[in-house]
């Protein structure tokens, strides 16, 4: 067997933290090798060492049998190592071709046509389906990722590293990406896949290296190892995939949407004739592919976007024209889709972030003056209760937290406020198994306290796991509302594609 990459006994220390402790990774020629670990386990550090962004304190890197020293990403490129980062590095008003040749423009004259031809050929060879003349801002996230892949192929990369590639993709795009990875290895490339999603590893990877808290836990053959075995190796304890929940005790109507019409950012109809009600004590999941009006719908309910027509009623109050604060006061909690953009002030400490919705009223403040003591106590209560881990407790800046802890902080803030309606949009996106388990249990607990929960997720597993009823959206329309117990993933999948069930059901 020939190892294309060997990282032997790698150790990397940051002040106060051992990020990698004696980790060995051996990738074979032509395999898809997964690296599995929770957030903060040290996967990204290991790959950054391979890509030349960090230097190992100890250990060797051997590429194709030769020991190498990688000092910068350029060195890595020269060795045929390419990386698709989680956040794409593309110039938005450039075409695909221009982005790909950026940094490799060649001599004085720009041979755009030649480059474009080469890109087209590569795209066809690996089934990437990219038009080289499209402008980046006009193409979908999935296509942007494929442009990143093309960028590496254009630079003759033999070893491709994917850092959490599916975090931003829709189920269909994930399917496509898996196929692309298979094509890549079929052509003799080697793929390293960094992820914490077990089903993806099960679907494509050949072997899997598992890391926990900076240490190597094991190397397993994916086919002969069960998902739950890998999960427990990753987390260090048995993991419960199914959410335990009692049957719903449904009460009065909390949220009532009637014939809602909302425009999207392009001033086109994003949500049309949308009517839905959510009752106390139930979780209603909105299933649908990303970009089918979910964002517009949630912004309309929370008051961040004005509506064209229709009414919104919250617990008997007409809030159609109420501002965000009024809605929060009546009882909306919102776990936003983009936790870093909307959910938190990164440069502010946890104590401020926890109070950001309520700072203006008693007991957080009196007569316009903040009550620092109460703010600190309250923040301490939230981070204790929700196990938000940080370097300096409530004084830590939100930006210094890991993604999982940021999300736990937001969930904590919204749940502790005890709203009548809790809206959770993609509440577990990008989180590891342990955090997902925890957040799911919190949403169910909120329901069991007799509140309404409206869940938006692009992951069907999550929708089915949590929801009592499923509302399916397609192109801004409500296709149908079904009881979770009376449907299955296949049927909901069809409805997500816009196919209605037999007329008149529900």
- Catalog residues that contact another protein under the rule CB under 8 A: 13, 15-19, 21, 38-40, 42, 213-215, 302-304, 323-328, 334, 336, 341-348, 352, 355-357, 359-360, 365, 368-370, 372, 376, 389, 391-393, 395, 402, 404-405, 432
8 Å CB contact between 273 and 477: yes
- Kindly list the strands in the beta sheet with 309-314, ordered across the sheet, starting from the edge strand earlier in the chain: 269-279, 253-263, 309-314, 317-318
Verify cis geometry, omega within 30 degrees of 0, for the bond prior to 124: no
Q: In whole angstroms, how close is the CB of 209 to another protein at the nearest point?
A: 18
Consecutive H or E run containing 454? strand 452-457
Nearer to another protein, 212 or 245 (CB): 212
8 Å CB contact between 191 and 4: no
Q: Which residues pair with 309 in a beta bridge?
A: 261
Nearer to another protein, 213 or 229 (CB): 213
Q: In whole angstroms, how close is the CB of 306 to another protein at the nearest point?
A: 13
Name residue, tokens 């190397």.
Answer: 219
Q: In whole angstroms, how close is the CB of 243 to another protein at the nearest point?
A: 21
Q: In whole angstroms, how close is the CB of 456 to another protein at the nearest point?
A: 15
Listed in sequence order, the DSSP H helices in 22-134 are: 43-50, 73-78, 96-101, 112-125
Nearer to another protein, 16 or 238 (CB): 16
8 Å CB contact between 56 and 11: yes
Q: Which residues pair with 260 in a beta bridge?
A: 274
Nearer to another protein, 141 or 370 (CB): 370
CA distances for 265 relative to 221, 299, 301, 416, 425, angstroms = 47, 12, 16, 32, 19
Query: For residues 466-496, b (16+ Cβ closer than 10 Å) or e, as one string?
Result: bbbbbbbbbebbbbbbbebeebeeebbbebb
Nearer to another protein, 52 or 404 (CB): 404
What is the C-alpha separation between 154 and 152, in angstroms, rounded?
Answer: 5
Q: In whole angstroms, how close is the CB of 442 to another protein at the nearest point?
A: 17
Nearer to another protein, 12 or 118 (CB): 12
Map residue 416 onto helix, strand or coil: helix
CA atoms within 13 A on the CB side of 486: 10
Nearer to another protein, 59 or 393 (CB): 393
Tokens for 256, please give them. 């009532």
Q: In whole angstroms, how close is the CB of 214 to another protein at the nearest point?
A: 6
Q: In whole angstroms, how close is the CB of 324 to another protein at the nearest point?
A: 4
Nearer to another protein, 79 or 354 (CB): 354
Q: In whole angstroms, how close is the CB of 431 to another protein at the nearest point?
A: 10
Nearer to another protein, 219 or 345 (CB): 345
Q: In whole angstroms, how close is the CB of 122 to another protein at the nearest point?
A: 38
Nearer to another protein, 249 or 385 (CB): 385
CA distances for 8 relative to 20, 202, 309, 334, 439, angstroms = 11, 26, 63, 46, 37
3-state SS record for 210-270:
EEECCEEEEEEECCCCCHHHHHHHHHCCCCCCCCCCCCCCCCCEEEEEEEEEEECCCCCEE
Q: In whole angstroms, how close is the CB of 501 to another protein at the nearest point?
A: 35
Listed in sequence order, the DSSP H helices in 303-402 are: 324-330, 350-354, 372-385
């Amino acid at each position: 067997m020939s190892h294309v990459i060997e990282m032997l006994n790698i150790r990397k220390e940051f002040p106060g933290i051992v990020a990698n402790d004696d980790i060995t990774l051996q990738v074979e020629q032509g395999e898809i090798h997964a690296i599995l670990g929770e957030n903060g386990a040290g996967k990204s550090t290991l790959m950054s060492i391979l890509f030349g962004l960090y230097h190992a304190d100890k250990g060797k890197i051997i590429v194709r049998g030769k020991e190498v020293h990688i000092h910068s990403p350029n060195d890595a490129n020269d060795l045929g190592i390419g990386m698709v980062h989680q956040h794409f590095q593309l110039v938005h008003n450039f075409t695909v071709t221009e982005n790909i040749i950026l940094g490799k423009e060649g001599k004085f004259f720009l041979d755009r046509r030649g480059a474009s031809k080469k890109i087209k050929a590569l795209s066809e060879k690996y089934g990437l389906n990219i038009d080289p003349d499209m402008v980046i801002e006009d193409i979908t996230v999935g296509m942007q990722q494929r442009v990143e892949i093309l960028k590496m192929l254009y630079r003759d990369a033999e070893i491709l590293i994917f850092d959490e590639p599916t975090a931003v993709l829709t189920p269909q795009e994930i399917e496509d990406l898996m196929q692309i990875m298979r094509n890549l290895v079929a052509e003799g490339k080697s793929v390293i896949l960094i992820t914490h999603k077990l089903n993806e590893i099960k679907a494509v990877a050949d072997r899997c290296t598992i890391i926990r808290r900076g240490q190597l836990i094991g190397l397993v053959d994916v086919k002969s190892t069960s998902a739950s075995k890998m999960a427990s190796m990753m987390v260090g304890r048995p993991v419960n995939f199914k959410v335990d929940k009692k049957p719903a005790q449904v009460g009065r109507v909390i949220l009532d949407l009637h014939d809602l019409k909302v425009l999207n950012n392009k001033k086109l109809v994003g949500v049309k004739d949308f009517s839905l009600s959510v009752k106390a004590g139930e979780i209603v999941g909105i299933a649908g592919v990303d970009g089918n009006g979910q964002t517009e719908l949630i912004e309309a309910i929370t008051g961040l976007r004005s509506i064209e027509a229709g009414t919104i009623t919250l617990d008997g109050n007409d809030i159609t024209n109420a501002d965000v604060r009024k809605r929060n006061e009546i009882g909306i909690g919102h776990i936003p889709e983009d936790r870093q953009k909307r959910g938190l002030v990164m440069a502010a400490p946890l104590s401020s972030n926890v109070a950001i919705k309520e700072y203006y009223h008693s007991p957080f403040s009196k007569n316009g003056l903040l009550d620092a003591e109460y703010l600190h106590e309250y923040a301490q209560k939230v981070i204790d209760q929700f196990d938000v881990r940080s370097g300096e407790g409530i004084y830590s800046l939100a930006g210094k937290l890991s993604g999982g802890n940021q999300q736990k902080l937001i969930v904590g803030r919204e749940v502790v406020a005890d709203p009548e309606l809790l809206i959770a949009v993609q509440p577990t996106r990008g989180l590891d198994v342990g955090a997902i388990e925890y957040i799911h249990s919190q949403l169910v607990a909120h329901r069991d306290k007799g509140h309404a929960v409206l869940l938006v997720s692009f992951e069907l597993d999550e929708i089915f796991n949590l929801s009592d009823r499923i509302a399916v959206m397609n192109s801004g329309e409500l296709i149908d509302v079904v009881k979770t117990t009376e449907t299955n993933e296949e049927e909901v999948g069809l409805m997500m594609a816009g196919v209605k069930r037999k007329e008149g059901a529900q």
